[in-house]
Amino acid sequence: QSQKNKKAKQPNKIAKQTTKQQQNNLENNNMIESARIGINGFGRIGRLVMRAAIANPKTTVVAVNDPFLPIDYAAYQFKYDSVHGVYPGDVTVDKDTNQLVVDGETRITFYAERDPSNIPWTDVDYVCESTGVFTAVDKAKLHVKGSVKHVVISAPSKDAPMYVMGVNHEKFDPSTDVVVSNASCTTNCLAPLAKVLNDEFGIVEGLMTTVHAATASQLVVDGPCKGGKDWRAGRSAVNNLIPASTGAAKAVGKVIPELEGKLTGMAVRVPTSDVSMVDLTVRTEKACTGEDIKDALVRASKTSALKGILAVTEDKVVSQDFIHDSRSSIVDAGACIHLNDHFHKIISWYDNEWGYSNRLVDLVVYMHGVDRNNS
Catalytic residues: 185
* Residues 336, 208: Cα–Cα separation, whole Å: 13
Nearest partner of 150 among 115, 110, 121, judged by Cα:
121
Going from the C-alpha of 95 to that of each of 75, 101, 109, 127, 317, the distances in angstroms are: 12, 10, 10, 24, 45
Please name the residues in contact with 32: beta carbons below 8 A apart, sequence gap of 6 or more. none
Secondary structure (3-state) at 178: coil
Q: Which strand (E) or helix (H) includes residue 358?
A: helix 354-374
Buried b (16+ CB within 10 A) or exposed e, 305-343: ebeebbbbbeeeeebeebbbbbbbbbbbbebbebeeeee
Length of the chain: 375
Nearest partner of 210 among 75, 10, 316, 356, judged by Cα:
356
- The stretches of 133-281 forming alpha helices (DSSP H) are 137-140, 185-201, 248-255
Beta bridge partners of 151: 127, 179
